[in-house]
Amino acid sequence: MLRCVSGSAPSRSLAARTAVLAAGLVVGLAAPLTGCAVGPSDRPAVAVRDAPLPPGPPATTAPGPAPLPQLVPPGTTDIAFADCTAQTQRRLGAAASRANLTYECGSLRVPLHPDQPRGRRLDGALDLALLRVGTGVPLVIVGDVAGEPGRLLAARLANQLPPEMLQTFALIGVDRRGTGGSEGIRCVPADVRERLLAIDPAAEDPGQWVLDAANEANQQCVQDLGDSLLSYDSLRSAGDLEQLRQALRSERLNAIAVGDGSRVLAVYLEIFRSTAGRIVLDGAPDPMLDSIGVAQDQAAAAEVAFDAFAADCASRPDCPLGSDPRAALQGIAAQLRDRPEIARDGLTKVDAGILYSALLVGLADRQRWPELAAALRTATAGDIEGLAELVDPLLQFQDEQPARLDAGLFTTCYDTTTRLPRDRALQLAEDWRARSPLFGPLFALRLLTCNPIGVPITTLPAPRSPDTPPVLLLGAEGDPITPLAGTQRMADALAAGVLVTWQGTGHAAFPRTPCVTSTVQRFLVDGQVPRNGTICPP
């Protein structure tokens, strides 16, 4: 077991540290990265389903650049939380399985653009929407920018975690800037949003289709939001977390991030490492590859996920995919390409492009595979309601929350400097078709969505500091959103990254199985760092 000790270097203020960023100390994501991993590098430990994990190395043989910080009870928070149990239970629906939980909501005002890059000052502020469940040490929950908002994600986790974790921690769900209740971006016209999600590689001139839709989205959002649009990126979100830590009166930021929320915490670890606590990155994006490499990995991972879904579907009655799943899917796509259907609410037109987007949404969550299979089955008979329901959170204002596509589009584009010529994207679509016939062309064309959007003024700092504490990374072998290869590279890039691989399919591993759940619990609650390379079965 790794002994937990307290103490850290004196911390600089948020303004001082972000000023360092503006002075030019940030580095690009493609910078060479080196680092060492916690634990031995020999054969990985394998955890048996429902059995205790093999013990980690003794403290004397588990080197790390910095010790795992001790959990310290916080002081009185500066945030005014108020009961929102009824509202949260309604949003959770059947997922609110623990009736004894109390949920509290609050908000935190943060600077819109604290670091003032290249002398440009953007005045103003925005309110971050927060949810708290529990009364222990704050454990901040950060989600995907285009996924479930952090407040709802934290509420769901509270209904799934072992009681010991809820006795130790208070989960603090935060809707990232521009998402959910945190003054969510809602500037992309509804028809343009649908066109961006309905990219169909088989359409006539699909590259121009993407560029035209992305250009309209950018023009409208620049007109509505002006320079403030530049503030919606992972760099500023990392600054928001430091503001949140201070407002919670917490000595350290302890946090779990899902998907590209892990990028926010990776930036935090680089800029605010003296206040980094116990950090879990669940499905981390690749810190080294550019957008082209990431998209290629995503396409390959989506193919693996589809194969797993097809095998699972074949084991159930009434599977619509038959003996040739790819041909069956392409048949449904051809049907919808010829005769698009309008959902009953009149808001969503389901065509071949929407079909593939709905498929990716369903593949990312294994618990929704029966729902996805049913949606494909009914679509063959002309009923597309199931497919529409899968994509509606990205397209429509729902449950007092804005459509998720807007914030996802601009945050993703402002996190990268890659802008791809149209001809290059079309060539990649052809090249990737051979290796990833279902999804390769789609992911190649999606690379064009950032072209009309300005290149960010500042770039994200690479995770390279040698004095961060151990960080637990979880990677799923069949994750189509943040592929395992990227999570492995993030673990290698972090000086004290410890990778645990789940041999399952779907986006994010926690809390999918007892092995994964117990690993995270021991790390966060008990301060036990697992052996680097530990494998959890499906």
* Strand pairing report for 104-111 and 253-258: unpaired
Phi-psi label, residue 215: left if phi above 0, alpha if psi -120 to 50, beta otherwise: alpha
CA gap 529, 475 in Å, rounded: 16
Q: What is the pLDDT of residue 65?
A: 54
Provide the residue-wise pLDDT of the chain in tens; the chain has 538 residues: 333 333 333 333 444 444 333 333 232 333 333 333 333 333 344 444 334 444 444 443 444 457 899 999 888 899 999 999 999 999 998 888 888 899 999 999 999 876 544 444 456 889 999 999 998 999 999 999 999 999 999 999 999 999 889 999 999 999 999 999 998 899 999 999 999 999 999 998 999 999 999 999 999 999 999 988 989 999 999 999 999 999 999 999 999 999 999 999 999 999 998 999 999 999 999 988 788 999 999 999 999 999 999 999 999 888 999 889 999 999 999 999 999 999 988 888 999 999 999 999 999 999 999 999 999 999 999 999 999 999 999 999 887 789 999 999 999 999 998 899 999 999 999 999 999 999 999 999 999 999 999 888 777 887 878 888 999 999 999 999 999 999 999 999 998 899 999 999 999 999 999 999 999 999 999 999 999 999 999 9
CA distance to 45, 329, 432, per residue, from 439 (Å): 33, 12, 8
Cα dihedral 369, 515, 495, 246 sign: positive
Residue with tokens 């494909």: 376
Q: What is the pLDDT of residue 123?
A: 65
pTM for the model:
0.85
On whether the CB atoms of residues 155 and 170 are closer than 8 A, the answer is no
Q: What is the pLDDT of residue 95?
A: 87
CA gap 488, 474 in Å, rounded: 9
Q: What phi, psi does 278 have (nearest 5°)?
A: -90, 115
